[in-house]
Structure 1
Amino acid sequence: MNYTRITALAAVGLAATLSLTACDNNDSGNNSSSKTAPSSAPSSSDGGSKPAGAGSAGSGAGNAKSGSGQDTAAGSGTAKGETKTGSKSTFCKTEDLAIDAQDAATDKSSGRINITMINRGSATCSATGFAGVDIKDADHTSNPIQRGHAQPRITTLKPGDAAVFDIAYNIDSSGNSLTHPTNIQVTPPNETHTVSLKWPSSAGQIKGAYTDVEVYPTHTTK
């Protein structure tokens, strides 16, 4: 009888020990699971998720791109409005130039008209390059004049200085010219404003068509 009671008590004790061990293992598993679960990332305003701090980094990149664009635009604007003539000079404006046309033919076969531009402004400016020239005819058509084969020369004008460019053509002495020019429309180099000058009355008639007339680049009179 005593042996039977001891065996029964031993069995009860073993069962209790196994039950406690199982409880400990379950508790340990639950604690481990709660510690390793990742925390949710902050949500962006568009419903997605992104790492913290990404918004400020994106703003910085956008500001940098915008700044570089402004610098480029400013640099381009400055270069476009200036020309290198030893020192930087802005191009002469039409409103600052006194412009005149005169017959300058040296013989009866070669026609030439000199267009003179005097700087009436208060600052030095550049008239370097080709002027835009159109000749208006009595039939009210406007005819663009092509450039002659010549290299532009540096033409810097101080206040009061003059620049000249030529319009060249062959003279028609037959009296049967098909052209009847009335006005010369001049747009100074690198300008958009035009002035209209009377065709010199003493100038010879144009031989051929307006496509046979050429304009040459500006140069100084000094």
Structure 2
Amino acid sequence: MKYTRVTALAAIGVAATLSLTACSGDGSGKASSSKDSSSSSSSSSAGDSKSKDGSTSKDGSTSEGGSGSGGSQAGNAKAGSGDDTKADADTANGATKTGSKITSCKTEDLAIDARDAAPDEESGRIDITMINRGSTTCSATGFAGVDITDIDNTSNPIERGQAQPRITTLKPGDAAVFNLAYDIDNTGNSLSHPTNIQVTPPNETHTVSLKWPAGAGEIKGAYTDVEVYPTHTTK
């Protein structure tokens, strides 16, 4: 009987120990689970936060993108400001250039005449002089338009010679000159009988008619063999 009670007590003690162990294991598991959960949540929050910050600084898709956009806008604004400034400067310069631009000499402001300037008996040359009688400086740069009128009243356009125009700016009273060049026919059998020279100054549309200079040599060949050269100053 005593042995039975001892055995029973021993069994109760073992059961109690097991119960306590089980309870302790459950609590530890819950605590561990709670701790892991808390850690996981905290880690997740930190990770999310880090991920946002990381994505921001790494690829600029969030705040860097906005900052980049703002930087771009600022850059554009700066570039725009620079363009505006340059445009204003260009406009100002354009206005200045336009305001000070020298216009072409007008036919009505030019005193024009022609004279024989042949250097020898073989080379024919007619010098045509234009004097600025206007009140402002003007440009006579380039080739004048020239036609020669024959005795039969036909008009023959003269071709340009192989020469580059030179800057020809005329102040009031200044003169520019250009010439017609041809070979002189000394046989007396020339088929060309010029009477007048029709002159249109460079960049003009109004023409003046000049008499063919008396004493000028006869033209060898046809009017297509005569050439006109660009203007230049007489200084």
* Alignment TM-score, normalising by the size of structure 2: 0.62
Q: Is the 8 A contact 1:103 1:200 kept in 2?
A: no
Q: In 1, are the aligned partners of 2:146 and 2:198 still within 8 Å (CA)?
A: yes
Q: Of Structure 1 and Structure 2, which has the larger fraction of its residues in strand?
A: 1
Alignment of 1:207 with 2:220, yes or no, is: yes
Instruction: Choose which of 29, 33, 40 in structure 2 pairs with 1:18.
Output: 29
Letter of the structure 1 residue corresponding to residue 220 of structure 2: K
SS in 2 for 1:93: coil
Corresponding residue of 1:146 = 161
Q: Which amino acid aligns with 2:113?
A: A
Aligned partners of 1:207, 1:90: CA distance in 2, in Å? 40
Gaps of 5+ in 1: 83-88
- Tell me by how many angstroms 1:5 deviates: 1.1
CA distance 1:22–1:121, change in 2 (3 Å): farther
Q: Report the alpha carbon displacement of residue 8 of structure 1 after superposing the two structures with TM.
A: 1.5
Distance 1:96 1:70, change over 3 A: farther
SS of the counterpart of 2:22? helix
Contact persistence 1:167–1:216 (CA under 8 A):
no
**Secondary structure in 2 aligned to 1:102?**
strand
Deviation readout 1:46-79 (Å, 9 max, x if unpaired): xxx8833123323433553565477568768978
Counterpart of 2:15?
4
Structure 2 runs not aligned, ≥5 long:
1-11
Give the TM-score of the pair, scaled to structure 1. 0.64
User: Between Structure 1 and Structure 2, which shows a larger proportion of helix residues?
Assistant: 2
Q: Is the 8 A contact 2:138 2:170 kept in 1?
A: yes
RMSD: 4.2
Q: CA deviation at 1:115?
A: 1.7
Q: Is the 8 A contact 1:101 1:198 kept in 2?
A: no
In structure 2, relative to structure 1, the CA distance for the partners of 1:28 and 1:213 (3 Å cut) is closer
Matched, 1:32 2:56: no
Deviation at 1:117, TM superposition (A): 1.6
1:56 paired with 2:74, answer yes
1:67-118 C-alpha deviation (Å, 9 max, x unpaired): 5477568768978998xxxxxx946523573141323245765433222222
User: Is the aligned partner of 1:94 residue 2:111?
Assistant: no
1:219 aligns with 2:230: no
Letter in 2 for 1:15: D
Q: How does 1:131-170 map to 2 (within 5 A)?
A: 131-136=143-148, 138-140=153-155, 142-147=157-162, 157-170=170-183
1:167, 1:132 → 2: CA distance?
11
Identity percentage of aligned residues: 26
Q: Larger C-alpha radius of gyration, 1 or 2?
A: 2
User: SS of 1:168's equivalent?
Assistant: strand
**Range 20-29 or range 172-181, more displaced:** 172-181
